[in-house]
Amino acid sequence: MKNRVVKALTMGLAVTTVMAMNPAITFAEETEAVTEAAEEAADEDQAAADQVAALIDQIYVQERTETTDEDCKAAKEAWDALTDAQKELVEGEEASPDYFGLDTGDASADDPLNADEIGENELLVVSFGTSYNDSRVEDIKGIEDALKEAYPDWSVRRAFTAQIIINHVQARDGEAIDNMDQALERAVASGVKNLVVQPTHLMHGAEYDEMVEALEAYQDQFESIAIAEPLLGEVGNDATVINEDKAAVAVAVADAAVAEAGYDSMDAAAEDGVAFVFLGHGTSHTAKVSYSQMQTQMGELGYANAFIGTVEGEPEETACEAVIEAVAEAGYTKVILRPLMVVAGDHANNDMAGSEEDSWKSMFEASGSFESVDSQIAGLGRIDAVKQIYVDHTKAAIDSIAK
């Protein structure tokens, strides 16, 4: 933008000089010339920003193509060539200045776990993924590290199922993370015989089903394949069905929330008028009953001040308006929001705790029913007790192969 302003001023100076030489040129004509120069500069700025927006939209897709690597590189190079003012103008169907400009932490602290020379036994950790670097390290890498420590005889590798996120991380940070096909092809090429897949998914939902479908195409490429349970274990038929996994997760997230809030227990927080709202993603999949089961589980544990919500509002009782009403009717005057998500990524930072009027924090505040509304931005994956659940699920899968 600086260059554009200099150009406009230079043109204005030129017009002034000509005017001095030719008094017939009016001040209005001089002003018009400067205005036209400024408009031309603004148009050029917007054109440069629009080009970057188009390049971002091109890689904001859930499919890897033959040109993905080149497209990611081109988008970043075009972004880097913009001035700070031009970057603020980037706006597309999915593009915004935050795509490259938002600081989410140090990507170099992560490990994409995409090395070859795997050996005969591979433990593939499959996640949806996140472009929030700090959360990826603390939540996803935290689980992967726990599995590496627990099973040193197995080579731990990573796969993300969200190509949109893979492209984002690659374009912005230069970190290459395998998608499912890439990870499985790598395993085949490395001569893996026994493959154990540990999803970090919360439940047997749509993402889990897609992962299983991807594995089916490789059934005959390995001597054995075992899929470990997701975090909450088996779904069950209705809202009353709970299990040891759901109980362990409920206790773990409640303990973490209470400790971060500075209370000794859920009861102590309740006595102070505090309700905890644990926010999941939500789904139209039949597995959405898992959220209702988690509400049942909270009740079974005596956590009357624990409420389950979802970003998508599915099931219906987990929609924001319904949860606000439930918390207010229960008489709690203070609210603490915390993710019921493995990763504290975009949903936690924006849908839950963001400043936009449609975030959960904003809507709770706008209701006027509470003295305070606070947020804890922390994924389940950084909680030791949750990591242990994944370790136990992986052990069951490994044991199934041994049999």
Q: What is the mean pLDDT of residues 183-197?
A: 98
Tens digit of pLDDT for each residue in 111-147?
999 999 999 999 999 999 999 999 999 999 999 999 9
Alpha-carbon distance of 203 to 274, in angstroms, equals: 28
Is the distance from CB of 201 to CB of 128 less than 8 angstroms?
yes
Alpha helices in 262-383 (DSSP H): 266-271, 289-300, 320-329, 346, 360-366
Kindly report which listed range (129-133, 190-194, 237-241) carries the lowest average pLDDT score.
237-241
Predicted pLDDT at 144: 98
Q: What is the mean pLDDT of residues 286-315?
A: 96
- From the number of C-beta atoms within 10 Å of its C-beta (0-12, 13-18, 19+), residue 401 rates as middle
- From the number of C-beta atoms within 10 Å of its C-beta (0-12, 13-18, 19+), residue 114 rates as middle
Predicted pLDDT at 41: 79
Q: Which amino acid is at 28?
A: A
Is the distance from CB of 152 to CB of 114 less than 8 angstroms?
no
Alpha-carbon distance of 380 to 347, in angstroms, equals: 13
Predicted pLDDT at 206: 92
Q: Which amino acid is at 269?
A: A
The confidence band for 230, taking pLDDT boundaries of 50, 70 and 90, is: very high
State the distance between the two ends of the chain, measured CA to CA, in whole angstroms: 67
Predicted pLDDT at 210: 92
The confidence band for 21, taking pLDDT boundaries of 50, 70 and 90, is: low
The confidence band for 22, taking pLDDT boundaries of 50, 70 and 90, is: low
Predicted pLDDT at 30: 72
Q: Is the dihedral of CA 179, 153, 399, 235 positive or negative?
A: negative
- Give Cα separations from 237 to 213, 241, 288, 309 (angstroms): 23, 7, 11, 20
**What average pLDDT is seen over the chain?**
92
Q: What is the DSSP letter of 342?
A: S
Percent over 70 (pLDDT), the chain: 92
Q: Is the pLDDT of residue 166 over 90?
A: yes
CA-only gyration radius of the chain, Å: 26
Tens digit of pLDDT for each residue in 318-372?
999 999 999 999 999 999 999 999 999 999 999 999 999 999 999 999 999 999 9
Is the distance from CB of 225 to CB of 197 less than 8 angstroms?
yes
Alpha-carbon distance of 86 to 283, in angstroms, equals: 38
The confidence band for 245, taking pLDDT boundaries of 50, 70 and 90, is: very high
β-sheet with 334-339: strand ranges across: 306-310, 274-280, 334-339, 372-375
Q: Is the pLDDT of residue 1 over 90?
A: no
The confidence band for 31, taking pLDDT boundaries of 50, 70 and 90, is: confident
Predicted pLDDT at 43: 86
Alpha-carbon distance of 246 to 232, in angstroms, equals: 5
Alpha-carbon distance of 125 to 313, in angstroms, equals: 28
